[in-house]
A and B are shown apart, each in its own frame.
Chain A
Amino acid sequence: MLEIKNLHVKLEEEDKQILKGVNLTVEAGKVHAIMGPNGSGKSTLSYVLSGKDGYEVTEGSATLGDVDLLDIEPEERAAAGLFLAFQYPVEIPGVGNMTFLRTAVNSQRKARGEEEMSSTEFLKVVREKAKSLKIDADMLKRPVNVGFSGGEKKRNEILQMAMLEPKMCILDETDSGLDVDAMKLVADGVNALRDEGRGFLVITHYQRLLDHIKPDVVHIMANGRIIKTGGPELALEVEHNGYADLMAEEA
Chain B
Amino acid sequence: MSLPQLKLDATEARIAALDLPTDGWAAPARADALARLRVMGLPGARDEYWKYTRPETLTAVEAPVAAVFAAEETPVFGTVDRLKIVFTDGVFDAEASDDLSLEGVEIARLADSADIHWAKDLYGALETAGQTPVMRPLATLNTAFASDGVLLRVTGKVSKPIALIYNHASEASDAILHHVVKVEQGGDVTLLESGPAAARFNNVLEVEVADGAGFHHVRAQGRDHQRRAATHIFARLGTESAFKTFTLTANGVLTRNEVVVELTGDDALCHVAGACMGDGEFHHDDTVFITHDAVNCESRQVFKKVLRNGAQGVFQGKILVKPGAQKTDGYQISQSLLLDGDSQFLAKPELEIYADDVACSHGSTSGAIDEDGLFYLRARGLPRGIAEDLLTIAFIAEAVMEIESQELQDEINARVEAWLERRRG
B45 touches A (CB below 8 Å): no
Number of A-B contacts (CB under 8 A): 79
The answer for the CA separation of A93 and B393 in the assembled complex, in Å, is: 10
How big is the B interface, by class? 20 to 34
The answer for the CA separation of A89 and B376 in the assembled complex, in Å, is: 8
B425 touches A (CB below 8 Å): no
Contact A73 B378 (CB under 8 A): yes
Contact A92 B373 (CB under 8 A): yes
- Of A3-11, A16-24, A101-109, the one contacting chain B is A101-109
- Of A26-34, A60-68, A74-82, A212-220, the one contacting chain B is A74-82
A78 and B378 in contact (CB under 8 A), knowing A53-B371, A95-B394, A103-B386? yes
Contact mask for chain B residues 357-388; partner A; CB cutoff 8 A; 1 contact, 0 none: 00000000000001111011111111110110
Contact A52 B375 (CB under 8 A): yes
Please list 30 pairs of residues, one from A and one from B, whose beta carbons are closer than 8 Å in the complex, sorted by A's number. A50-B379, A51-B378, A51-B379, A73-B378, A74-B375, A74-B379, A75-B378, A75-B381, A75-B384, A78-B378, A78-B379, A78-B381, A79-B381, A90-B375, A91-B373, A94-B391, A94-B393, A94-B397, A94-B398, A95-B377, A95-B391, A95-B394, A100-B380, A103-B386, A103-B390, A104-B382, A107-B383, A107-B386, A111-B381, A164-B380
A103 and B393 in contact (CB under 8 A), knowing A53-B375, A86-B376, A90-B372? no
- CB contacts (< 8 Å) of A93 on chain B: these are 394
A73 and B394 in contact (CB under 8 A), knowing A51-B378, A89-B376? no
Q: Kindly provide the distance from the CB of B395 to the nearest chain A CB, expressed in whole angstroms.
A: 7
Q: Kindly provide the distance from the CB of A44 to the nearest chain B CB, expressed in whole angstroms.
A: 14
Contact B395 A94 (CB under 8 A): yes
Q: Kindly provide the distance from the CB of B373 to the nearest chain A CB, expressed in whole angstroms.
A: 5
B279-323 contacts to A (CB < 8 Å): none
- CB contacts (< 8 Å) of B387 on chain A: these are 75
Q: Is the interface of B mostly helix, strand, loop or mixed?
A: helix
A100-146 contacts to B (CB < 8 Å): 100, 103-105, 107-108, 111, 143-144
Q: Kindly provide the distance from the CB of B92 to the nearest chain A CB, expressed in whole angstroms.
A: 40
Contact B394 A164 (CB under 8 A): no
Contact A95 B390 (CB under 8 A): yes
A2 touches B (CB below 8 Å): no
- CB contacts (< 8 Å) of A100 on chain B: these are 377, 380, 390
A209 touches B (CB below 8 Å): no
Contact mask for chain B residues 248-271; partner A; CB cutoff 8 A; 1 contact, 0 none: 000000000000000000000000
- CB contacts (< 8 Å) of A92 on chain B: these are 370, 373, 376-377, 391, 394
B375-425 contacts to A (CB < 8 Å): 375-384, 386-387, 390-391, 393-398
- CB contacts (< 8 Å) of A160 on chain B: these are 380
- CB contacts (< 8 Å) of B382 on chain A: these are 75, 103-104, 107
Which listed residue, B378, B386, B394, touches A74 by the CB 8 Å rule?
Answer: B378
The answer for the CA separation of A52 and B390 in the assembled complex, in Å, is: 19
- CB contacts (< 8 Å) of A69 on chain B: these are none
For residue A109, which residue of chain B has the nearest CB? B381
A35 touches B (CB below 8 Å): no
Q: Kindly provide the distance from the CB of B249 to the nearest chain A CB, expressed in whole angstroms.
A: 19
The answer for the CA separation of A16 and B382 in the assembled complex, in Å, is: 30
For residue A105, which residue of chain B has the nearest CB? B381
Q: Kindly provide the distance from the CB of B73 to the nearest chain A CB, expressed in whole angstroms.
A: 23
The answer for the CA separation of A93 and B372 in the assembled complex, in Å, is: 12
- CB contacts (< 8 Å) of B378 on chain A: these are 51, 73-75, 78
For residue B372, which residue of chain A has the nearest CB? A90
- 7 smallest A-B Cβ distances: which pairs? A94-B394, A78-B381, A108-B381, A90-B376, A74-B378, A104-B380, A94-B397
